[in-house]
Structure formats: C-alpha cells, structure tokens
Amino acid sequence: MNDNTISNLSVDCVIFGFDSEKLNVLLLERKLEAENGETVFCDHTLVGHHVRVGETLDESAARILEETTGLSNIYLEQFYTFGNPDRLKKPRAKLWLESIGRNPEERVISVGYFSLVNVNSVHVSYTERHASWFNLNEIEDLGFDHKEILNKALEALQTKIKTNPLAFELLPQKFTLSHLQKIYEVVLGIEIDKRNFRKKVSQVPYIVPLKEKQQKVSHKPAQLYMFSRDIFEATKKKDFNFSF
Amino acid sequence: MNDNTISNLSVDCVIFGFDSEKLNVLLLERKLEAENGETVFCDHTLVGHHVRVGETLDESAARILEETTGLSNIYLEQFYTFGNPDRLKKPRAKLWLESIGRNPEERVISVGYFSLVNVNSVHVSYTERHASWFNLNEIEDLGFDHKEILNKALEALQTKIKTNPLAFELLPQKFTLSHLQKIYEVVLGIEIDKRNFRKKVSQVPYIVPLKEKQQKVSHKPAQLYMFSRDIFEATKKKDFNFSF
DNA sequence: GCAAAAGTGTTCGGCGTACACCCATGA
DNA sequence: TCATGGGTGTACGCCGAACACTTTTGC
C-alpha cells in the first residue's frame, strides 16, 4: 500500500468528549462486508491513521483529529506507545487489514494521543467511516488493541487532570461550576462535596465569574464562569493541586 | 544493515543513577575516527538500540539496560516517543550513522525509557563503546536529539516520584534517611527541612527501620531503613503524596 | 405549588512549615 | 578535641472533610 505513509508507524487518538453529564469517547465503526454484501463483523475502533512521510507525530495526531471532527487547535497529548509484535494479530484485525490493503503480518507500532473536546463543538461523521460518541463506561471491547490503548489514555488523563488545568478543555468557554465539578467526578470516578468544591474554586484566581447566567433552564439559573489562561500562567506555582 | 532489527524503530534508555550525593546519567562515548586514526569528533549519547524483530518495546529496553549495565529486573518506564522527521539530521549524526552502516536519511522513531539504579550496583563498560556516569547538572549537549530526550525523562521522573515509590529504586536495599531525603532534593531540585522530612517518613508504614546502623563513618552512625513493597502494596491508598 | 438544580458557612482534625540545639563517632 | 553528619519537638496556619437548608426559575 503506497499512500505516502510510513507502513509500520501509526497514531491512534483517544478523543474524550464531555456532554455535561458523562465522559464519552469518539469511535469509528469498523464494518467488514463480504463480497455478497453480508456483514462479516461490525465493531468499533479508535480514530487512527498511519503517519505520513515528513509529518511529525504531533502533526499526525492533529491531522487525524481534524479529519474526524473538523476541529483544529485542540488539546492533544501523547501518552504512550504501543508496539507489541502481536498487537494486530487478532482474527478480526487480520481480516480488516487485508480488506483495506494493509499487510496483516507487518508489525505496526502505534503512538497514542488523547485529546479533550466538548461534544457540542463537534459535528461528527465527516469521513468514509461512521464516527459517533460512546459513553466511556459502556465501551466493552474494541478492535485491535484499542481497548488497552483507551485504558491507558484514561489513566493518563486521570493523572494529569489532578495537577493541570485540563478540565476546561472539556467545557465550552462559558460553563457552570456544577459542570466543572461533574468533570472531576466522571474523570476520576469519585463524588465531590459541592460546598467544598466551590470553596476551592473560589480561591482559584483563574476561574473567573462572568456577568452572565444560564438562560432558559427550569431551575435557578447558574452563574457562568470562564477559565483565564492568562491569569493561570501569571499565577501558577508548583502547587496546582486538584486531587481529591 | 541487517542485524535482525527494525530499521526505523529504536529504544533509547535514560539510566539515572544515584551515588549518595548527585543524580547521574549513564552515557556512551561516541567517538568517530577517520581512516588515518584522527578523531573527527567525540561526544556522548544515551544508551539505545534498534528494536529487534519479535521483541516488545519493554523487552528491548530491558535488553539494552542489561547489555550496558549487566543488570536485569530493574525499574524501567516508557515515558515518551520521539519521531520528528529531522531528529537524526544534525551533521554529526549523519557522519556517525554512515560510519556504523545505517542510512542517515532514514526516519527513525525512538521510544524513550528511563530506568533507576544505584550507581554502586553497576559495573560499567561492558560493550564496545565506553560507558560512564555523568552528573546530570553538568551534561551540556548530547548527540542526536538525546539532550531533548534526557530533559523529557527528567520531567517524567520528577512528576512520577512525587506520587510513587520510585526513590527506593535509586537506593541500595538498606539506606539512611539522609540519602532518601537527598534523592528528593536532587531529583526535584529543592531543599527539604530535615525534621519535617523525618516526621513525614515516620508516618509512612512501608519505610521500616532495621536493627542496624551505618558502619565506619566518621560521625554518628545513621539508622538504616528499608522499603517494604509488601507493606506498601497492602496499605497504599489513592493519596500517596511526596510532593514538596 | 412543585420539581430541579443553585447557592451558601461552620466546625474539626490533620498536615505542611518554620525553626535550633545536642549527640555519637572516627580521626 | 574537633569535624562531620545524625537525630529530635513545638507552635501555627491552612486546607480538606463532613454536613443541611434556602433560593430561583420554568412548568
């Protein structure tokens, strides 16, 4: 297969999306049809692609993300590289690789990136393969070794969100404190006390209240906030700590 | 070049070693001699090698470590993958790669591992290239992109040592609290108050005092301690915290 | 008026931080 | 006896944890 890519090097992206309630992952449908049109199997995989000649790994991840979501300038982080010789040796993987013209015997190593978006900023289903959001907790198995990659990505996200301002990448620009709290709860799998959470947030200078409230909600409308990266950069010390 | 390795995939190991005072890194001399015996250049690189066919990345890193230090069963952790298309394009890199029969135009991606050892457990200079320890703070530049790899490794070590029991990997089995403290100081680049440090340690169940003291030191001999992984595994909660 | 989420304060215990002097040993 | 690192305790302030009721809006 010659499409100007490096045949044994790929990038897989774990695209996390928050929808005000749950943590979701963007997956592609992997449907293999026989010549007679019957479905041989249908499951899901992460978004990934072989790295192009002359393209850095970061550029490759950004390209994959943009091709799938239409988004650019998105938070992206390399978290681990998967290179077991047998990582593409499951029966379905072989069938699939053959069907798309890749050599199933070739050892491919994959560099894993995760990215963070708000689901409402994404209009999915750009490409030839159908993409859609899946609740993280309901993902059973994935094609290739992608479940393992997903697990490792979640671990990396959990570690990093405790000490870095990643939560804001999952939110729209203007957000409520309840949504911010929910992110820490669903990402870390814990419950947080509302009053303690708000006390902590109020001590943080770069989470700034706006002169605006929620509209059209059938309950008391919440104050909106935004994240100021400028204030964050100016005031951050070694001790950012969002571990609960 | 055919030595049963994958030509565009390598593993580089950042081997950190503690010597009771400083943090050191094991480097190989990279000396290129012209046909007339004159030295074209001489500098240093990390320890690395191309990945073998059929070998996992972890196995590759363990092999490299053992070939260089004679040690096996050592702490090893993958921390980042370096794949810029131009990472081997510095003039010396090209000359060197040619001299060892590699194609300097080939894009090679390198998976970075760091490992932690006590310098006294290592007898260096196994292989054809001369290996020796260098004080981390005195390393100016390295061959290829290895300075960048080293910087990233140190960052990963600093992050991870704050919340995981890595310090003990840098120490002999029996150690003094001063040495333990010194590790946090040199790795994190900070100073720690002795009394506060010891107060914290005394609350940690898996750092256990032995019935043994230092011998033959020309000052009050220090109590020796050991790390009990069993107790650590049995008592660890989410909240291991060694960030100062 | 009811459902649904927003918003708000106090108490308590533990942990991090700052800080200075005596002790045991080998030379 | 001196030099060298080992070893020890207290006071204070901050932060994390636990905990329940009132408010505002849309329907």
Look at residue A238 and tell me whether its pLDDT is greater than 70.
no
pLDDT band at B236 (very low <50, low <70, confident <90, very high): confident
Contact residues, chain A, for B242 at CB < 8 Å: none
Which 145-184 residues of chain A approach strand C with CB closer than 7 Å? 176-178
Half-sphere exposure of A192 (CA within 13 A, CB side): 24
What pLDDT is stored for residue B243 in this prediction? 42
What are the beta bridge partners of residue B9?
A: B109
Query: Are residues B78 and A81, on separate chains, in Cβ contact within 8 Å?
Result: yes
Helix (H) or strand (E) holding B208: strand B207-213
Query: Are residues A57 and B83, on separate chains, in Cβ contact within 8 Å?
Result: yes
Contact residues, chain B, for A6 at CB < 8 Å: 8, 107
Look at residue B240 and tell me whether its pLDDT is greater than 60.
no
Nearest nucleotide to the CA of A218, by C1', is D26
Protein-to-nucleotide distance from the CA of A183 to the C1' of C6, whole angstroms: 18
Asked if A5-160 and A166-235 have one fold, the answer is: no
Q: Is the pTM of this model over 0.85?
A: yes
Q: DSSP letters of A173-236?
A: SSB-HHHHHHHHHHHHT----HHHHHHHHHT-TTEEEEEEE--S-SSSPPEEEEE-HHHHHHH-
What pLDDT is stored for residue A127 in this prediction? 65
Average pLDDT for residues A86-93, to the nearest whole number?
Answer: 96
Domain boundary assignment for chain A: 5-160, 166-235
Percent of chain B with pLDDT over 90: 89
Average pLDDT for residues A181-194, to the nearest whole number?
Answer: 95
Residue-wise pLDDT for B4-44, tens only, equals: 999 999 999 999 999 999 999 999 999 999 999 999 999 99
Average pLDDT for residues A163-180, to the nearest whole number?
Answer: 96
Other beta carbons within 10 Å of A203: 8
Look at residue A218 and tell me whether its pLDDT is greater than 90.
yes
What pLDDT is stored for residue B126 in this prediction? 60
Tokens linked to A157: 């996200």
What pLDDT is stored for residue B244 in this prediction? 44
| Eight-state DSSP code of residue A242 | -
CATH T-level fold of A166-235: Arc Repressor Mutant, subunit A (1.10.10)
Query: Are residues A109 and B57, on separate chains, in Cβ contact within 8 Å?
Result: yes
Work out the angle at residue A178's Cα, subtended by the Cα atoms of residues A173 and A184, and round it to the nearest 5 degrees. Answer: 85
Residue-wise pLDDT for A121-151, tens only, equals: 998 766 668 999 999 999 999 999 999 999 9
Protein-to-nucleotide distance from the CA of B197 to the C1' of C17, whole angstroms: 11
B16 backbone dihedrals φ, ψ, rounded to 5°: -90, 135
Judging by beta carbons within 10 Å of its beta carbon (0-12, 13-18, 19+), is residue B179 exposed, middle or buried? buried
Nearest to B56 among A9, A54, A84 (CB): A84
Quote the mean pLDDT of chain B: 93
Average pLDDT for residues B119-123, to the nearest whole number?
Answer: 90
Look at residue B223 and tell me whether its pLDDT is greater than 60.
yes
Which 121-180 residues of chain B approach strand D with CB closer than 7 Å? 176-178
What pLDDT is stored for residue A243 in this prediction? 43
Domain B5-160 grouped into CATH 3.90.79.10: yes
Look at residue A240 and tell me whether its pLDDT is greater than 90.
no
